[in-house]
Structure 1
């Protein structure tokens, strides 16, 4: 049975991550820590021998993907569908500022509501567009190959959940991905998509296959 592997990789740290500021689709670059995280993660992911490398076109994801491209020789394909959730009027604010100035919207977001308000993209729309991009990435590799997708935290979780067919309530039980950590999915004709690993990264205890 041929199994295709899909790695859904969150970008490295940014100054807005460090400040607890809502990035959404603001084009914030990696900071020095994030750049090093990308290099450290790439040294592990290259061992999976990816056949395709796809990234959000936002700089923090694209530059994360570039660290792996440098080791594999692969070109990075950019896909706007892999962008982070659009957070509308929240972008640039800290969560404390959102809670203070937009309390009703913040309460709906904290409760996991699909529609938050304030121009925030719905979870359903987010999940559909990211899942479409993830499926396209998997389709871009030969059967049994590995595709690596560099994206964002909320985008990764919602897109993976949509691809797996999980209800929103189940998806909320997953912790947020750490910077430069990833989700591993597998697909075969008989079982479809399955979750193989979650929140794996340079500082994870889960072993990564040695170079071959």
Structure 2
């Protein structure tokens, strides 16, 4: 029997729109993001989810709430699903980071761990998000469908950790667009598998950084 896990990125925020590093700053959805959550929820409800889990940051929690309103399910919150902590980068635009912290920025662009700035390592990020996804799966009966509302960098790293992908392979995945999702499945015979990635209702739009 197979459990399905939908890993869903939150809707747009003003900091997404301004290319500003959010990290674990609790930035709310903007008007576009709230509409994106509603539009996506109208598709996800067709999957007949049996459980909803979300990061406790409001942009993810409010995205999950749009689906909760259609399903009648309550949302369980797990702080392990929070976005990557970007430490001293949080609140800065990416242009400002590149200008004022060029060595750190270059390592980030190269997919390496950032040395300095109190930025969370990729291994730590991947492990904590993967642990949360596994815990959500362990709490439900087989053949359930779980929708997990989280964040861009968190989603990508958590998925990669579950699948056992090396960092170089993980970098070949584009960031999830706002309110798009990936579908994972798990069963005892095949373990974790990726079924689809970057699915959503909005067509192909430019992807803001997953921060």
* TM-score relative to the length of structure 2: 0.95
RMSD over aligned Cα atoms: 1.0
What does residue 130 of structure 2 align with? 131
SS at 2:118's partner residue? coil
Which residue is equivalent to 1:209? Answer: none
Aligned to 1:51: 50
Work out whether 1:68 is the aligned partner of 2:73: no
Shift of 1:115: 3.9
State the distance in 1 between where 2:202 and 2:106 align. Answer: 33
Partner residue in 1 for 2:5: 6
C-alpha distance in structure 1 between counterparts of 2:140 and 2:33, whole Å: 28
CA offset at residue 116 of structure 1? 3.4
Unaligned runs of 5+ in 1: 206-212
1:144 aligned counterpart, secondary structure: coil
Give the unaligned 5+ runs of structure 2: 205-211
- CA shift digits 1:72-119 (9 cap, x unpaired): 000001100000000000000010000000001001111111243210
Q: Shift in Å at residue 189 of structure 1?
A: 1.1
Counting only pairs closer than 5 Å after superposition, residues 183-202 of structure 1 correspond to structure 2 as: 183-202=182-201
CA shift digits 1:59-79 (9 cap, x unpaired):
000000000000000000110
Alpha carbons 1:37, 1:180 under 8 Å: kept: yes
3-state secondary structure, aligned to 2:33: helix
Once the 2 structures are TM-superposed, how far is the Cα of residue 140 of structure 1 from its aligned partner?
2.0
Q: Distance in 2 between matches of 1:19 and 1:101?
A: 18
Whole-Å separation in 1 of the counterparts to 2:129 and 2:177: 18
Measure the CA separation in 2 of the matches of 1:11 and 1:171. Answer: 20
Instruction: Count how many residue pairs are aligned between Structure 1 and Structure 2.
Output: 204
- Measured in 2, the distance between the counterparts of 1:85 and 1:5 equals 24
Superposition pairs for residues 147-186 of structure 1, below 5 Å? 147-186=146-185
